[in-house]
Amino acid sequence: MSSKRERGGPVTDTSTVTSTFGQMLRQRRQAAGLSLRQLAARVGYDHSYLSQVERGQRPGSVDLARLCDRELGTGDQLTVTFERRDPEPAVLDRRPAQRLQGAWRPAGAADPLELAWQGLVAAAGVAEQAIALGDFRTVPPASLLPELVGELQALQARGGDEVEAVELSVLIAETLTGLGERRTARRWWWAAQTAAASSGDGALLALVCAREAISGLVERRPLPELLELADKAVAAARQTPSTATCVPQVAQALVLAELERTEETHQALQVLVGIGDDTVVTDARPTDWLPYQLHWAEGRVCAGLGYGVPGCILLERARELCPETWVGERAKLDLGLAECLAVAGEVAAGLATALRVLVELPDEWHDLWVYDAADRVLRVVQDKEPTLPGAAELRRLLSRSGRSVGGGSSDRQVRG
């Protein structure tokens, strides 16, 4: 096991420090008479994630430690204990690309436990990445980023599958986008697309181009550039038909809706509606597109076409299919529903929904994806009923994102 020196203390195994933090968290929680679910609800984390932290299976985060200190009345005990652990995740969070240039561990220093795990995975014939990242949607973006980078480092160190590396790069790029690191995200998109193209796997290239186009909408990249990406994804998917075809079609429909090409958007929406839940892949790999995401896309395209009521129906269906523990995903669905309500004429209800989501959503889940969805609600409100009292409050909340608010697409180059 690798080890790091604590502040002013002896060299200590990092797993011991992680375990110490988890043990202290459990002791303080039990002393306060709270269950895992109760504490999870108070701090805005999934209870299964807290359970893993207490058992030493997940490292936790400074944010989690501070929130738990506040809720449990433990001063800064948990925060100090957590900060005594290996500081490397914070470095990964700031400079993931630089960290990838180094090896996961020195040659010849392989962890016996990791080797045993690899042997077990091989013997069982299961996909390790699906196990390791199956719950990534329950982890806030700032905490998720170093975990994804760590997964990629480990994959590279053991000479893992190229497809898995590309998929991890996609997740890293999307997470960076959410954190507002646009320039760094672009580098990861470039790396993912280059690797996918060189692999000769058309379905993989289609996936990367499509996901980048969808992410580009949040980044406010020029729409013609995004349409080119979406068209490239559709073309690649047609050459190698697979269940991933859904994502390129989704990207194309979303970009066409933003370009306000009504007739083409109608046609693209019909394609999406014709896909159906049963033809969308299940959650077998981290980048698989799930049924709730398909309905989210359909609802958003409906909103762009002015079909508020159908959009509401589709977003409600998406909410039914999305697990409650996926806090960030459900926030985006609720904001999509708010937009559809406003488009349908229920402007006050849509505005109230958007305000509720932003106020109740824990700070660690506030990212660019959420702000973009809320900004779409504000645009409809300003177009239909700009004098509603809550509009100013929504603008204030959105100002936290450090981006132009309610500006529509005026900051984009050429609408087409």
Report which residue type is found at 207.
L
Question: Can you give the pLDDT at residue 133?
Answer: 62
- Dist. CA 325–CA 64, nearest whole Å: 16
CA dihedral 275, 214, 208, 140 (to 10 degrees): -110
- The structural domains of the chain, ordered by start, are 3-86 (1.10.260.40), 292-405 (1.25.40)
- Dist. CA 252–CA 362, nearest whole Å: 32
Helix axes 368-384 and 327-343, enclosed angle (nearest 10): 10
Question: Can you give the pLDDT at residue 356?
Answer: 95
Smallest CA-to-CA distance from 161 within 207, 128, 209 is with: 128
Phi-psi region of 61 (alpha: psi -120 to 50; beta: other; left: phi over 0): beta
Phi, psi of 201 (to 5 degrees): -90, 105
Residue 387 CA: distances (Å) to CA of 165, 345, 351: 49, 15, 12
Q: How many CB atoms lie within 10 A of CB 285?
A: 17
From first to last of the 416 residues of the chain, give the pLDDT tens digit.
333 322 233 333 334 444 588 889 989 988 888 888 888 878 877 777 788 788 877 777 887 888 899 889 999 899 888 887 644 433 333 333 333 333 233 334 445 554 554 554 454 444 444 445 667 899 999 999 998 988 888 888 877 778 888 999 999 999 999 999 999 999 999 999 999 998 888 889 999 999 999 999 999 999 999 999 999 999 998 887 654 568 999 999 999 999 999 999 999 999 999 887 655 655 567 788 889 999 999 999 999 999 999 999 999 999 999 999 999 999 999 999 999 999 999 999 999 999 999 999 999 999 999 999 999 999 999 999 999 989 999 999 998 665 433 333 333 333 34
- Name the strand (E) or helix (H) holding 337: helix 327-343
5 three-state secondary structure: strand
